[in-house]
Structure 1
């Protein structure tokens, strides 16, 4: 007969959701798994992120805690003072100190949802295309006009790519600088060091963070694409003809797509994908929106080849949660082909409950695997949510203020933390912020 396990210590009443469901109904046999969110507040507090974190906490039933770092901690604190966590969700966006986050990951060694070092590969489209080519992911025909010293990568990252997928990126540092870029006499083709690309073609800056993409049409005129501003995503310019010469550019074949649409693909892990089609911005530059003001998109199924490309992209770039753009078009043989035109890194679907449920399910399964692992010592949210110098600070107060005053200070600190981390809505009982000033805004 097997003895019953000892009862766990009693806990305060569990917080409940609006429907009465307990959010922490089970006491885990091990400490809760702490999922750290190290991203800029504009991303960490987005509606999509909140939807997923709420579901993740509910699925954890008390076994999953969320620690959101916050801008103040990320930008101002040394990584030694960042909160500790078991699993880290961290990704680059504007103003995010990626290399600082890499330093933190090396110091604390959490399980990474998306590899941090490899996110630097997405900063240069030449690197992205080289990796896609190496992994036999179809892309449009292209010419490259290099006017700089090539992509800048650390030796450590180059070696990491070499070890992981067998691609030596060092040769991209020795790309020959372009010596001649001009239009053919009839103006309907660009010539890059003797190689010809007929119009229409697409001109992209090599920087993955530069979204000023131009399309040049036959017989003159072109369209400037940009990130959506209100209801516009591009504008036509009848005077556009000459290519830009102020930097390094990639020239891609312009392809007519099915229904004048492009496709956004979103991955979560190496097996799950979600895809949506939308009106291409090259059509007229006007964004189609529904009555709620959201861009109109249509969920679509992926072909087996498209799913294989998704798997290859996730594995090659080390990004479990990843978005990339695809054009479905007709090949020279009349058969449909799907070409990848951009890899975006961390991306979420917006306004899709089924997607949010699936992401939370996959992340929850990962949390449970980490919790069951005997190879990892789980950290404590209570101990690690404060800076590492906190104990030294309290000890100093004991000496200079007396133990009674110091203990009162410690009590007040805990109450202030509890106030700012108080849940403001359904499913937030286990979500806390290291930057208390933003704690109530999630």
Structure 2
């Protein structure tokens, strides 16, 4: 019977997105990965916050520089220089990559890893920049006919800036003529 190499699925996701208590993965995500691994063809590798946030993708360590000098009749008879470098992979090498943006997530670093290692991307990385701006998220959802909650945008250059399109009363705010009764949820754009 031939031993086949397992397909390594890298999960490059912040722990707050996948953890549930002390478990590495939340129950739904854990079930998905358990089912994949049950086939015996897959190995799931969770990168973890320390790896994602602190560790370099790879590091080029200069292992050693070896110089050998030989003297003969007060002259350099021979000079040997043998540099040896070794690339040390810090982020796990995987065949497939699942990566989800969340606040604090180094998306550029994940893109650099994908460019270097060329894993199959289960989900694209570049479009995740859209998630940095709530306005763009809503714009794209509306573009594809996906319902969004009723919302209004108040854009200020400085906090407490007076705006002619914004009215705040005790029990409501009005933005561009749209009235929102309190209580409601205020969220930043990013």
Q: TM-score range by the shorter chain?
A: 0.5 to 0.7
Offset at residue 118 of structure 1 (A): 2.2
114, 125, 139: which one aligns with 1:105:
114
Q: Given the alignment of the two structures, is residue 179 of structure 1 paired with residue 163 of structure 2, yes or no?
A: yes
If each structure's strand is expressed as a fraction of its own residues, which one has the higher value?
2
Matches within 5 A, 1:257-276: none
Structure 2 stretches lacking a partner, 5+ long? 59-88
Alignment counterpart, residue 153 of structure 2, candidates 122, 144, 150: 144
Q: Unaligned regions of 5+ residues in structure 1, if any?
A: 1-6, 9-26, 150-176, 209-442
CA distance in 1, matches of 2:150, 2:102: 29
Q: Which residue of 2 aligns with 1:196?
A: 177
Q: TM-score, normalised by structure 2?
A: 0.63
Secondary structure of the 2:44 match is strand
Question: Corresponding residue for 1:206?
Answer: 188
Change (3 A) 1:132 1:95: closer
What displacement does 1:140 show?
4.0
Higher helix share: 1
CA drift of 1:197 comes to 1.9
User: Is 1:74 aligned with 2:56?
Assistant: no
Quick one: distance in 1 between partners of 2:104 and 2:54? 13
- State the alpha-carbon separation in 1 of the partners of residues 167 and 180 from structure 2: 13
Larger radius of gyration: 2
In the alignment, is residue 51 of structure 1 matched against residue 31 of structure 2? Answer: yes
Deviation by residue 1:127-185 (Cα, 9 ceiling, x = unmatched): 11111121122334433211259xxxxxxxxxxxxxxxxxxxxxxxxxxx98322247x
Decide whether the 8 Å contact of 1:122 with 1:128 is kept in 2.
yes
* Distance in structure 2 (CA, Å) of the matches to 1:79 and 1:37: 14
How has the CA–CA distance of structure 1 residues 138 and 53 changed in structure 2, closer, same or farther, with 3 Å as cutoff? closer
Residue of structure 2 aligned with 1:126, choices 132, 135, 145? 135
CA contact (8 A) 1:190 1:196 kept: no
CA distance in 1, matches of 2:162, 2:135: 14
Matched-pair contact (CA < 8 Å) for 2:10–2:97: yes
Cα pair distance change 1:140/1:32, threshold 3 Å: closer
Task: Report the secondary structure of 1:115's partner residue.
Answer: coil
CA RMSD, 1 decimal: 3.0
Instruction: Find the counterpart in structure 1 of residue 83 from structure 2.
Output: none
1:53 to partner: Cα distance: 2.1
Kindly state the Cα deviation for residue 105 of structure 1 after the two structures are TM-superposed.
1.5
Change (3 A) 1:147 1:204: same
Aligned position for 2:77 = none
The separation in 2 between residues aligned to 1:128 and 1:111, in whole angstroms, is 25
Residues 1:47 and 1:74: Cα distance change in structure 2 (over 3 Å): same
Map 1:238-387 → 2, pairs under 5 A: none
| Aligned residue pair count | 149
SS state at 1:143 partner: coil
CA gap 1:133/1:52 in 2 versus in 1, 3 angstroms: closer
| TM-score, normalised relative to structure 1 | 0.30
